[in-house]
Amino acid sequence: MRVLAALSGGVDSAVAAARAVDAGHDVVGVHMALSRNRDQFRSGSRGCCSIEDSNDARRAADKLGIPYYVWDLSDEFHDLVVKDFLSEYAAGRTPNPCVRCNEHIKFDTLLERADALGFDAVATGHYARIEVGKDGIRELHRSVDPLKDQSYVLAVMGPEKVAQSIFPLGDMASKAEVRAEAAARGLGVSNKPDSYDICFVADGDTKGFLQRELGEKPGEIRDESGEVVGAHEGAYAFTVGQRKGLGIGRPAADGAPRYVTDVDTSSNVVTVGPETLLSVSTLVGENTVWLAPDVPAAEPTRCEAQVRAHGTTTSGTVVRRGDELVVELDEPMRGVAAGQSLVVYLSTRVLGQATLMKRVI
């Protein structure tokens, strides 16, 4: 097959490309330049898309003996990921930009260009597995290494994109094993630090980034009875379940800690209350993506639900109602926020994904 290997400049994508070459594919490497400010170098393990990353990707391609190109997708990334991130927070929701990046950039824009250039598939360094099930259906599964599993942020892909994707690292036992293989292959990125946090917030200060982009909007913090207990500089900077950084000068009457239980950006009010108010028994998501055509989405199906990357799962029953995905949980889940990605699994297999709505019970 003709395979387009996405080279980020990190160790994972370099080893994934190498394995694609070993598999006998005709591989071409491409680095997606996503940042509008790529002149700077990385600071430790924060950020990505710097000129350093581009150079590391080029050296990896040279070592593998494959053609290498840089595609400037910074406008698409800003319009489809960064703007979405800001608008979601401005609306009082808690988005996951990695989900949107995988949806719109890595497995939409990239695949669209790959198709136009005659490639059969795209290979990336994501930790996930694709298995062929009954009737030849390609299923998305968790990776062998649960600590690195990225199926949660890949679930938004949909079955068509899964069919055009290759994840060579899905069967790797650990990141240490990936680094060891990179070193054995002579890839210079074998000891390069992992990037983390939000890539376009290189200093890790998400609250500061939001304030710079959205401006200060002073408002009230109220308790569950409506009493004003504090003030804030922008409701968008808070998320449901948050305990630290509330700036409340006095404790609750019973001395128990208080958490954010609601964010209403229309009234610019943040509501806080006891931990008991954070628990929900029903999850409702919209814009459903169903990856299991052999599992009838309209019929109740046992599942495990996950609402955070690398978060724990809670068992329950899922059913699709039109464009909504509804999960009735066996046990209440705590701190669920609108805008989060809801992913449902059957054992290691991804069944579907949806974006959590405000209406959680």
Q: Supply the residues annotated as catalytic.
A: 101, 199
Q: In what order do the strands lie in the sheet with 165-166?
A: 68-72, 26-33, 2-6, 121-123, 165-166
Non-local (6+) Cβ contacts of 110 within 8 A are 4, 6, 30, 32, 73, 122
Number of Cα atoms under 13 Å in the Cβ half of residue 180: 6
Residue 103 carries which DSSP code? I
DSSP tag of 130: E
Instruction: Name the amino acid, one letter, at 117.
Output: L
Q: How far apart are CA 33 and CA 17, in angstroms?
A: 18
Contact criterion met (CB below 8 Å) for 318 and 305: yes
In whole angstroms, what is the distance from residue 97 CA to residue 162 CA? 20
C-alpha distances in angstroms, 217 versus 30, 132, 163, 272?
A: 42, 51, 45, 18
Helix (H, G, I), strand (E, B) or coil at 111: helix
Token pair listed for 305: 């639900």
199 in helix, strand or coil?
Answer: coil
Q: Which of 291, 288, 309 is nearest to 152 (CA)?
A: 309
In 3D space, the residue among 32, 290, 18, 12 whose CA is nearest the CA of residue 128 turns out to be: 12
Instruction: Yes or no: say if 350 and 275 are a contact pair by the CB < 8 Å rule.
Output: no
